[in-house]
Amino acid sequence: MFQYETVENFLSGKTILVTGASDGIGKCCAETFASYGANVVLLGKNQKKLEAIYDKIEILSPGKAIIQPVDFNIATEGDYQNLSNSLAEQFQKLDGLILNAGILGARSPIEFYPSDLWHETIQVNVNSAFSLSKALLPNLKQSPDARIIFTSSSVGREGRAHWGAYAVSKFAIEGLMQTLAEELEKTSTIRVNSLNPGGTRTSMRKSAFPAEDPKTQPLPKELMPVYLYLLSEESKPIHGKAIDVREFEPANYLPK
């Protein structure tokens, strides 16, 4: 697994928004970024969990976190615009957008896939990422060196039976990343990539593979060096790339 050594408080002065911050990888991202000096905006559906993470960050990194409860299944365009306006009032700029929120949906053949769950999975996994990106681009453009990281999956790069809406949503995320990256490449300093974490010891992984020994998968904290690198100045040339955490080496993604 990739290792990255950096200085204490190297994210000081940066503001990073993390979706799905109430659990798993998103929670670990929020805690890690705050520990390196970033202001973190915690987005998630479960306010009780968000408050617990806020309290933990407040003890270790006082004043570094704010909570924004959002239910992506029902959030409106107005809700996203209000979020953008609120962030603009509190912070001069947004330096990072980690689009990590997602639901598994059903593990079912397409023929028998519940239509309501299909629409919910696409709404939470894809449409919220589009709406957030659209609403927050003005905030990100205020930063001289912003990052957008979309969370992908191996089943979003090669289809797999019974992964249904989740797989399709991750294919869509890859397309959204590529489209946005090309649009922003010569018009802003925002760098956009997708990141496939691979199997990780989270509650979603447990739901997808209930018979699997969780100890065979890495903890979210083992992925953090890649996230930190992608937020660093060193990663500025990496743009529009579909990145795999397990195989990550900067030289493989830097321009030749």
Concerning whether 166 is annotated as a catalytic residue, the answer is yes
Instruction: Please name the amino acid found at residue 93.
Output: K
Q: Which long-range contacts (CB under 8 A, 24 or more apart) does 177-184 make?
A: 177/148, 177/150, 177/152, 177/240, 177/242, 178/240, 180/133, 180/148, 181/239, 181/240, 182/240
Helix, strand, coil in percent for the chain, rounding step 5 = 50, 15, 40
CA 197 to chain centre: 10
CB atoms near residue 84 (< 10 Å) = 18
What does the DSSP 8-state code read for residue 96?
E
Check 80, 166, 227, 253 and give the catalytic one. Answer: 166
Q: Please, are residues 35 and 60 in contact by the beta-carbon 8 Å criterion?
A: yes
The DSSP output letter for 240 is S
| H or E, element range at 134 | helix 128-140
Active-site residue set: 166
